A and B are shown apart, each in its own frame.
Chain A
Amino acid sequence: MKVSLHVNGKSQEIDVADPSTPLLYVLRDNLGLHGPRFGCGLGQCGSCMVHVDGHATFSCVLPVTAVGDRKVTTLEGLMEGGKPSKLQQAFIDEEAAQCGYCISGMVMQAQALLNKTPNPTDDEIRRHMEPNLCRCGTHAAIMRAIKRAAVA
């Protein structure tokens, strides 16, 4: 069946066999957007996180047919004029990645926070970032990156 999606500012039409296909699979497999990653597939780890109408959302438990006309933004969609956004650059500058698997989701979750709260406290950052897991223990660097982007 045909599904139209609004992703990173563009409307696209995609053919899916199963209407319950997760948005994540369509982003990666049909649209070649490899920012969001498959981690647990159960909405537990946050590595698949994208924005749906500005809300940080697990794309692995959102069926593509349920997106409707809501606007989807992936890590790629944060780029500004072909360059990393302020927050993405802050992650690069702070080397806030070890294996890097969780980072796309971390950036999306953090961006959602900064959109609402441009200068969050440490406590607000910790609470807001709770849904996103990092097995490497990069949390301190991630905190620094978010704060760097907040004040920059």
Chain B
Amino acid sequence: MTLRRVVLTVVVVGILVALGGYALMWRPAIAPVATSAKAHVDRKAIDHGAELASIGNCADCHTSANGAAYAGGRPIPTPFGTIYASNLTPDGETGIGSWSEEAFKRAMRDGVDREGRQLYPAFPYDHFTHATDADIHAIYAFLMSKPAVRNAVPANDLASPFSFRPIVAGWKLLFLHRDALEPDSTKSAEWNRGRYLVEGLGHCGSCHTPRNALGGEKRDRAYAGGVVEGWNAPPLNASLVTTHKWTVDQLAEYLSTGWHRLHGAAAGPMADVAKNLGRASQDDVRAIATYIASLSPGAEGAKALVPAGGKVLTDQPADVVAIYNGACAKCHNDRHDVGPSQAISLSYSTAVQQPQSANAVRVVMHGIESYRTDGGPYMPAFAGILTDAQIASVVQYVRARYTDQPQWTDVKSQIAKARQEGVQP
């Protein structure tokens, strides 16, 4: 085939998929309901919905910096442009106050708003297909119990052709799978509960599964690790480079506190995930841990362990060693995890062991400052303390001293990217 024919075929197939998708995925508007008509007083459902919304980490995307919870407006960067998260409070005009439970359920499972418009899959309805009616009812009851906040969300800023909403219908045809999660009777009830939450409301794969060029999750590489907002979402399967295989206990502690001394601190987008999981049912968090631990069977002892204090290096430049000793070793020392910073041994750090430097660079530059409001581990932001060249050399020193892995090749570009992103909220 000539190039011309290939291009023509791709275009024609693309148009057919979009048209076919639109025809198949077309949904009518659902009549608005008066806000007052939905006076939910089902306290149990509201409380349960709050816990489920914590597992879904809904507030993270649907709350803007310094904005009211669930009132939307947070810009979500995607490879296709910026999407602004919608207002989930029961405001009649700018929120979902006029949505019936039916309309909400349809949005969760079909990715269509009350008026029948296609919703972009930054909203992870490709996972919420698994959510039960009862759980969606509880989340709806919870959201309707929140104070209505008037907050008109800015229009999305997407490149053409992605700005044309009906194109999402074609995406759904390709990537929205509706296969049910049948319980696996060979596994424990806890594992099955965990799978339901991880694959469904928890939508862990949204970040931890790599995506294809069209933004669909690569199902054949489930949980092999992804990239989100510049951060590296490490693999949750056996391909994770780690000095300690995650146990159920370790995962449960990490997920609910955002820290484990043999792995590190939840930072970047994961910080809020852990913060919210801390508010969820701890039985559910344990179920999630049970399922995730099962994704990396047999990883025990697969990796050489660098001693907690690191290797003895004799070939490192004195100025870099001085930076390490004066800036890093104040906390990352042999009393490592007991200090007030909860600084772990760097040979245990997931960020240090990964093939990409994205997380190590960002933790050094942006620090871990959520402790000021939420407690937990602390690290100062070194972006304003050290120069870019000093940051680059010290992270490579850490890589050499605390891992058996090769030096990173992406440090300079990651530092430049992290500078552009600025300090994290």
Q: Which of A66, A123, A130 contacts B372 (CB 8 A)?
A: A130
Residue from B321, B385, B390 having most chain A Cβ neighbours under 10 A: B385
Residue B323, interface by CB 8 Å: yes
- Pair A66/B319 contact, Cβ less than 8 Å: yes
CA distance A63 to B318 in the complex (A): 12
- Pair A63/B330 contact, Cβ less than 8 Å: no
> If A55-B384, A57-B385, A58-B385 touch, does A40 touch B322 (CB 8 Å cutoff)?
no
Report how many residues on chain A are interfacial, defined by Cβ distance under 8 Å.
27
Not counting A43-B380, A61-B385, A64-B326, a sample of 5 additional A-B residue pairs whose C-beta atoms are within 8 angstroms of each other reads A19-B318, A21-B326, A62-B326, A66-B326, A66-B327
> If A43-B380, A61-B326, A62-B327 touch, does A123 touch B385 (CB 8 Å cutoff)?
no
Residue A30, interface by CB 8 Å: no
Residues of chain B contacted by A35 (CB below 8 angstroms): none
Give the interface of A toward B (CB within 8 A).
18-22, 40-44, 52, 55-58, 60-66, 68, 70, 123, 130-131
Interface residues on B, range: 20 to 34
- Pair A57/B322 contact, Cβ less than 8 Å: no
CA distance A19 to B369 in the complex (A): 28
- Pair A40/B340 contact, Cβ less than 8 Å: yes
Residues of chain B contacted by A64 (CB below 8 angstroms): 326
CA distance A38 to B339 in the complex (A): 17
Residues of chain A contacted by B372 (CB below 8 angstroms): 130-131
Residue B405, interface by CB 8 Å: no
Give the interface of B toward A (CB within 8 A).
66, 318-319, 321-327, 329-331, 339-341, 369, 372, 378-380, 382, 384-387, 390
Question: B67 to chain A: closest CB distance in Å?
Answer: 12
Question: A127 to chain B: closest CB distance in Å?
Answer: 8
- Pair B322/A61 contact, Cβ less than 8 Å: no
Residues of chain A contacted by B386 (CB below 8 angstroms): 62, 66
